[in-house]
């Protein structure tokens, strides 16, 4: 059998091991241009291997700070074997998950918000990693301090979550707590006004009084906020959707509801002239 010959100047890709989808113990695969670029730029992120196609290295990833990690230039089909079924955009990073930061340290370090309001997002057993990632992305866009979820019945860090967050996972702390009611109590002790979002609430979120610090609490789709979570909130508010044939019957996806609510909380309160 003749050995395969390579054309001069053609890229020579090194074959991966027989089990390329088996990362080192304790690591995960992050994929997608924005997720990987943000992870590479995060000094708190421990990285192990960076796989990329030549097209990805010449594209958006070209401006990314690689953080001293060597790049393994390989074919797209080989990355498909590492993260099968993922929309990886030609790049995958084997890295260690971020440490779960203590909530108290985040709240103690928080200074005044640029718009005069500090916002923390609290998720009550939201289980879909794509939803949590999308909430993180909105939280980053609106300058939220952190996204808080439960340690159980909620996703831990994964490639799917990071891809949905589009880089926000390495920008906004994702805090997982054992006892959500206790965490809400801590937020209250730090001066946060805890607003639970509920479809059956009377007043609309848009009419909420402007407070310096707000904890926006959202529940899972379908079940909504749990009883103890509702009771721990200072008040319940709803999103004021426009009237129509569909508004009364269709519920918003939790990540979309979070984006709309963050917009309401982040914009300046309307000025009322005497």
Span 211-246, pLDDT tens digits: 889 999 999 877 789 999 999 999 999 888 776 545
Judgement on whether residues 80 and 172 belong to the same structural domain of the protein? no
What's the predicted TM-score (pTM) here?
A: 0.84
Cβ-contact 86, 163 below 8 angstroms: yes
Judgement on whether residues 161 and 201 belong to the same structural domain of the protein? yes
- CA 125 to CA 227: how far, in whole Å? 13
> At 80, which CATH number?
3.30.1330.30
- CA 161 to CA 76: how far, in whole Å? 21
pLDDT at 250: 54
- CA 231 to CA 198: how far, in whole Å? 12
Distances (CA, A) of 249 to 161, 236, 239, 241, 243: 29, 20, 14, 11, 11
Judgement on whether residues 84 and 178 belong to the same structural domain of the protein? no
Q: How buried is 59 (Cβ within 10 angstroms: 0-12 exposed, 13-18 middle, 19+ buried)?
A: middle
Residue 231 sits at φ, ψ, to 5 deg, of: -70, -25
Judgement on whether residues 247 and 126 belong to the same structural domain of the protein? yes
Judgement on whether residues 129 and 39 belong to the same structural domain of the protein? no
Judgement on whether residues 48 and 120 belong to the same structural domain of the protein? no
Q: What is the pLDDT of residues 172-188, one digit of tens each?
A: 999 999 999 999 999 99
pLDDT at 111: 67
- Residue 135's SS3 state is helix
Judgement on whether residues 77 and 161 belong to the same structural domain of the protein? no
Judgement on whether residues 119 and 230 belong to the same structural domain of the protein? yes
Least Cα distance to 176 among 147, 202, 150 occurs for 150
Burial 115-140 (b: 16+ CB within 10 A, else e): eebbbbbbbbbbebbebbbbbbbbbb
Judgement on whether residues 34 and 124 belong to the same structural domain of the protein? no
- Residue 53's SS3 state is coil
Q: State which residues of the chain have pLDDT below 70.
A: 1-24, 59-60, 62-67, 111-116, 243-250, 268-274
Q: What does 156-219 look like in DSSP terms, one character per residue?
A: -S-HHHHHHHTTGGGTS-EEEES-HHHHHHHHHHTT-EEEEE-TT-SSBGGGSPP-SEEEEEEE
29 alpha-carbon distance from chain centroid: 16
pLDDT at 246: 52
Judgement on whether residues 70 and 168 belong to the same structural domain of the protein? no
Give the total number of structural domains in the chain: 2
pLDDT at 243: 65
pLDDT at 5: 39
Judgement on whether residues 173 and 240 belong to the same structural domain of the protein? yes
Q: What does 210-251 look like in DSSP terms, one character per residue?
A: P-SEEEEEEEBTTTBS-HHHHHHSSEEEB--PPPSTTTTTPP
- CA 236 to CA 225: how far, in whole Å? 10
- CA 57 to CA 42: how far, in whole Å? 19
pLDDT at 148: 97
Domain that includes residue 44, residue range: 28-95
* Helices 129-141/254-266 angle, 10° precision: 10
Does residue 7 belong to any structural domain of this protein? Answer: no
Residue partners of 271: CB distance under 8 A and separation at least 6 = none
pLDDT at 233: 95
Does residue 19 belong to any structural domain of this protein? Answer: no
> At 185, which CATH number?
3.40.1280.10
């Amino acid at each position: 059998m003749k050995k395969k010959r390579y054309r001069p100047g053609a890229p020579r890709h090194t074959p991966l091991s027989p089990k390329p989808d088996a990362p080192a113990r304790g690591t995960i695969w992050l994929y997608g241009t924005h997720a990987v670029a943000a992870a590479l730029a995060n000094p708190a992120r421990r990285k192990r291997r960076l796989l990329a196609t030549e097209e990805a290295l010449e594209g958006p990833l070209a401006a990314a700070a690689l953080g001293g990690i060597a790049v393994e230039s390989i074919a797209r089909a080989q990355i498909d074997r590492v993260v099968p079924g993922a929309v990886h955009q030609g790049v995958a990073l084997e890295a260690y998950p971020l440490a779960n930061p203590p909530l108290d340290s985040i709240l103690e370090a928080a200074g005044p918000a640029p718009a005069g309001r500090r916002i923390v997002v609290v998720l009550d057993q939201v289980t879909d990693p794509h939803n949590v990632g999308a909430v993180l992305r909105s939280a980053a866009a609106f300058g939220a301090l952190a996204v808080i979820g439960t340690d159980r019945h909620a996703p831990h860090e994964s490639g799917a979550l990071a891809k949905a967050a589009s880089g926000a996972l390495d920008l906004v702390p994702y805090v997982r707590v054992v006892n959500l009611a206790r965490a809400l109590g801590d937020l209250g002790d730090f001066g946060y006004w805890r607003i639970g979002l509920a479809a059956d609430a009377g007043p609309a979120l848009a009419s909420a009084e402007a407070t310096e610090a707000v904890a926006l609490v959202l529940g899972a789709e379908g079940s909504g906020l749990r009883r103890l979570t509702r009771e721990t909130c200072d008040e319940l508010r709803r999103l004021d959707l426009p009237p129509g044939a569909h508004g009364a019957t269709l519920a918003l996806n939790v990540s979309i509801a979070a984006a709309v609510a963050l917009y309401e909380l982040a914009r300046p309160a309307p000025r009322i002239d005497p």
